Amino acid sequence: GESVGLHLPTLSVQEGDNSIINCAYSNSASDYFIWYKQESGKGPQFIIDIRSNMDKRQGQRVTVLLNKTVKHLSLQIAATQPGDSAVYFCAERSNDYKLSFGAGTTVTVRA
């Protein structure tokens, strides 16, 4: 079946640098995507979403980019802080309107 996946399971970034987390999806009919952040022992928290009629959306220190041609989604975090250390998941809305989640990328911020 269709699936959502992440390019790298871990990412180490220096505090203050920008982070880029990538996600590939395979369902070309997906029309809505979400990024979540999950801290240890907690549930995922909504970060930002984007619909398929957009290429880019910005939030506070975060930007999501969508490339439908290559079915690629990315999350950029500006000026990464220690509090950004977490597991990041992308999710896509499939044809039957349920969300499918990727396996997650663990981001570690070095001081």
Partner 1 sequence: SQTIHQWPATLVQPVGSPLSLECTVEGTSNPNLYWYRQAAGRGLQLLFYSVGIGQISSEVPQNLSASRPQDRQFILSSKKLLLSDSGFYLCAWSTRVGQPQHFGDGTRLSIL
Q: What is the smallest separation between the CB atom of 100 and partner 1, expressed in angstroms?
A: 8
Residues 6+ apart with CB under 8 A from 41: none
Residues 6+ apart with CB under 8 A from 104: 6, 9, 38, 87, 88, 89
Q: Which of 28, 41, 69, 111 binds partner 1 (CB under 8 A)?
A: 41
- x/- contact string, 56-95, with partner 1 (CB under 8 A)? ---------------------------------x---x--
Q: Give the pairing type, strands 105-110 and 10-14.
A: parallel
Give the binding site for partner 1 (CB under 8 A).
4, 32, 34, 36, 41-46, 49, 89, 93, 97-99, 101-104
